Every structure is written in C-alpha cells, then in structure tokens.
Amino acid sequence: MDFKDRVVLITGASSGMGHSAALAFARQGAKLVLGARRSEAGEALVDQIRAQGGEAVFSPTDVTREGDMAALVELALSTHGRLDVAYNNAGTEGRSAPFAEQDNDNYDLVMNTNVRGVFWAMKHEIRAMLQSGGGAIVNNASMGSEIGFPNLALYIASKHAVMGLTRTAALEYVQQGIRVNAVNPGVIDTPMQDRVWSGDASARDDFTKRTPAGRSGTADEVTEAVLFLASPRASFITGTGLLVDGGYVAR
C-alpha cells in the first residue's frame, strides 16, 4: 500500500493507534499532518518520523474545539496544498459507571470528543478534499458501535453515532470522489484500554478469554486495517465499519 507523497492527517496521534498509524503511513511515504493534545509527545513523534527519513508536521489539537480542528486541516493545505487521507482517531472512553449513575459532565466529555470532534473533523476534511478531487476518510469507531456493553452507555452511544456520521457522509460524497469508512477495534493493547480496566488485570483477562481469538489485539493490527481502507485497494468500499475484534462480535 504505497502512500508516497499522499498527504495524511491523523488526530490523536501522540499514542496508541494514532501513533502506530503515523509511523506506518510514514514508512509508506506519506506526508504526515499530526494533531494531538499532548504537544511534547506529538513533537517527539515528528522527530522520530523525520529521523527515519519521513516528512511530518504537528499542531496541538483538541478535537473538542472546532478552531483547533480547522487549523489542523489548514496546516495540511498551507504546507502541502491538499489533503488526501484523514484518520480521525482521537477519542475518549469517559467514566465507567452504571447507566443511572452517569452524569452530564461525563456526557459532555464523551459526546464532545467522540461525536462532535469527529463531526468537526469530517466537516473540514471534506471541504479540503473537495478542492483536490477526493480522498479517503477513516474514522476510529469501535466494536461498541455494533453492540452494547455494561457501564459504558455513553461511550457505546458515541460510537454508534460515529457510524451514523460515517455512513451518511459516505452516501453524500461518494460521487465526488470521497470515501468514508470506519475501523471498529475490539480489545486492543493501548493506554485507553489500560484506563478502561483501571488496573484490574483479572477482569481484562476474563474479557479477553471471551474473544474467539483468545487474546487482545495490537495497535499495529488496527493500523493494517486503516491503511487498507485508506488505500486504492479499498476503492469500492465506502460507508462500512471494518471490525478488528478477534471475532468478538461474531460470537
């Protein structure tokens, strides 16, 4: 999957799946435009990519602020004159609690990050892609976009919403050369998963055992799906969510 000289934007690039994707796209020759809240980690990633012969720029980006997202897209246009691929990876799990104990603060955090952040990202990315004849967008949803899960009502609802945004935009822009898909990871070894389980290794192990593959996935395995969906190899795929869950949803 050759992305030589393709301009690729990634949110939430400072760790986990975003970090993995940035390195993989760079190895394939892409020009990276990276956004994340943690500036020090983002700049360190840029240095790593450049040290390996790649090309990358970084802008501090909080996806709950539309201005930050607009600025990140504008950085792509001002630096490279186009935007070819966007991976909207930034997200949060919020606070785990029974449904009746959820509160408005957690609702605002989860929905503003996972739904409004993706909406704003897609809005500005689509406008940029229309200027240059098309592109590919991959949203990071979750296997939670297809199932429910106890104590994570708001997270689950937000990921269902991400799939709704994905499918609608796919229908609206497919004939203008823009494909929009989502990757739907299951249990993946990332810092977010560590927070979800709050150090309860036994609970995580029990959950992992219910995954038919018998293990957690890796960020790099999710990245392979992202690269595929962003590449011309997926030229007739739009409006779908690709599960990377070790068979969990198929049980």
pLDDT for the residue 194: 66
Rounded distance between C-alpha atoms, residue 56 and residue 196, angstroms? 31
Q: Which of 99, 84, 88, 76 has the alpha carbon at shortest distance from 155? A: 99
Which is catalytic among the residues 87, 155, 173, 248? 155
Which superfamily, per CATH, for 7-244? Answer: NAD(P)-binding Rossmann-like Domain (3.40.50.720)
Q: Give the mean pLDDT of 149-172.
A: 97
Q: Give catalytic status of residue 87 as yes or no.
A: no
Q: What is the pLDDT of residue 195?
A: 67
Which whole number is the average pLDDT over 157-171? 98
Average pLDDT over residues 53-66: 97
Taking residues 20-48, report their average pLDDT.
97
How high is the pLDDT of residue 210? 86
pLDDT number for residue 196: 64
- Mean pLDDT, the chain, integer: 94
Classify residue 209 by burial, with Cβ atoms within 10 Å: 0-12, 13-18, 19+.
Answer: exposed
What digits encode the pLDDT tens for the residues 185-212? 998 987 666 666 666 667 677 778 889 9
Interval 21-47 mean pLDDT: 97
- Residue 213: band (very low, low, confident or very high) from pLDDT cuts 50, 70, 90: very high
Q: Percent of the chain at pLDDT above 90? A: 88
Question: Mean per-residue pLDDT for 163-188?
Answer: 97
φ and ψ of 106, to 5 deg = -70, -40
Answer whether residue 91 shows pLDDT above 70: yes
pLDDT at residue 74, rounded to an integer: 98
pLDDT score, position 190: 73
Average pLDDT over residues 36-42: 96
The 10 Å Cβ neighbour count of residue 207 is 18
Buried b (16+ CB within 10 A) or exposed e, 120-146: bbbebbbebbeeeeebbbbbbbbbbbb
User: In the chain, what are the domain boundaries?
Assistant: 7-244
Give the pLDDT score at 66.
97
Cβ-contact 15, 42 below 8 angstroms: no
> Would you state the pLDDT for residue 200?
66
Residue with the two structure tokens 């790593």: 48
The band of 2, judged by pLDDT with boundaries at 50, 70 and 90, is confident
